[in-house]
Amino acid sequence: MDRGGAVLLIEAAKRAGVDRYVIVSSRGADANAEGDGFAAYLRAKGEADEALRASGLAYTIVRPGALTNEPGTGRVTTATGDGAIPRDDVAATLAAVLDRPETAGKAFLLVSGETPIAEALAALPSD
């Protein structure tokens, strides 16, 4: 889901009284990305991220690296955006974020690494 669907879901969440919103964005998301093709995707993702930040919802923006179908390891890094990550680990991270209110207001890159998910989330820098 890129910009349009994300914005509609943000609006629906607000109307429904939902106060926590976690979005799967993209590495390189940028509302000002120039060009066609993949740049249009990055622009749409960046615009969705900006709409979420402006929504007033408690948000977390997760920007995974290249997605793979490998089994998850439960170990990630949020320090760099270069690399890949199993879909299983992205899903586990999204679930963990919901249990960690201190991740609200943060955006981070996510790729495979050596740190258990809970530890990686606890080590996210303050904004």
Task: Tell me which residues are annotated as active site.
Answer: 41
Beta strands in the chain (DSSP E): 20-24, 58-64, 66-68, 75-77, 84-86, 106-112, 115-116
CB 31, CB 54: distance < 8 Å = no
Write the DSSP assignment of 17-36 as a string of letters.
T--EEEEE--TT--TT--SS
